[in-house]
Amino acid sequence: MNALIIVAHGSRNKESAQQVAALCQKVSGKVQNLSDKNLSDKNRYARNQFDIVAHAFLQFASPSLEETIEDLVQRGAGRIIVFPFFIAAGSHLLKDIPESIKRAGKTYPGVDFSITRHLGGIDAIEDLIIKEVVTHLKPRT
């Protein structure tokens, strides 16, 4: 089983955690509902490649990254990909997440772990920002 974990910072605000959980549900729905005719060759590989999309937090909210990993392994995950839902590469991204994944690899040697680029490190993130911002521009009079 292949699993994706979207890991966020976490907040004491419960609504923040609910938003991350909702994002995971949306991603899961899109991955499961992709149709071959709507996919590029590159994205065709992604169709139905994730059996589960889960979320985790590093602080202030649960489940923790370690708890989510344990749950996924217990459910049969043999490959876990971690997507850091962070804009900038701070200590969580540079130290905490890699150390957690290294520990998990030792605890679960039969599971293949990998970490993707963080949200802010994705090519063309600026295009997403511009697309959102221009919707708020009003014509000058």
Q: Domain segments of the chain: what residues? A: 2-134
Per the CB < 8 A criterion, the answer to whether 23 and 72 are in contact is no
Pick from 81, 74, 84: nearest CA to 108: 74
* Predicted confidence (pLDDT) per residue in 94-135, tens digit: 999 999 999 999 999 999 999 999 999 998 999 999 998 998
Length in residues, the chain = 141
**CATH classification code of 2-134:** 3.40.50.1400
Predicted pLDDT of residue 136: 87
Per the CB < 8 A criterion, the answer to whether 20 and 84 are in contact is no
pLDDT in tens, the chain (141 residues): 999 999 999 999 999 999 999 999 999 988 877 655 455 555 555 545 789 999 999 999 999 999 999 999 999 999 999 999 999 999 999 999 999 999 999 999 999 999 999 999 998 999 999 998 998 887 776
Q: Please state, in angstroms and as integers, the Cα–Cα distance from residue 21 to each residue in 5, 39, 63, 92, following that order.
A: 11, 25, 10, 20
| pTM of the complete model | 0.86
Q: What is the DSSP letter of 60?
A: S
Phi, psi of 22 (to 5 degrees): -65, -40
Per the CB < 8 A criterion, the answer to whether 77 and 111 are in contact is yes
Annotate 25-49 with b (16+ C-beta within 10 A) or e (fewer). Answer: eebbeebeebeeeeeeeeeeeeeee
